[in-house]
Amino acid sequence: MLAQSEKMGFKDWMDVKTKNLDWMDIGLVKVSVFFFALMLAKLWAPLLSLEWYWYALVFVLAAIKPIYDVFKSK
C-alpha cells in the first residue's frame, strides 16, 4: 500500500512542506532568491540589457496572484 505522501502530487506535497516554515524561513528564502538573481545578472550581462518595462511587466505578472489571494474574501 502506498503511503499518503506517495499518493499526493508535487503541489500538494509542497503545500504540506511549506506549512512547516515560519516567517524567518520565508524571509531567508526571499533573500536567497534575491541574491541568486543578482548573481545571474552579474554572470550573464545580457540579462540587464532589457528595457525597464520588461522588468516591470514580469513584476506585475508575478504579483497578481499573491495580491489577489491576500485581498479576496473567504
Overall domain count for the chain: 1
pTM over 0.85: no
Cα 25 to chain centroid, rounded: 13
Give alpha helix (H) positions in the chain.
Answer: 4-7, 10-18, 23-43, 52-71
pLDDT at 6: 65
Q: 40 in helix, strand or coil?
A: helix
* For residue 30, pLDDT beyond 90: yes
| Domain extent for 21 | 4-71
Percent of the chain with pLDDT over 70: 92
Compute the distance between CA of residue 57 and CA of residue 26 in angstroms, rounded to an integer.
24
Please, which pLDDT band fits residue 1 given cuts at 50, 70 and 90? very low
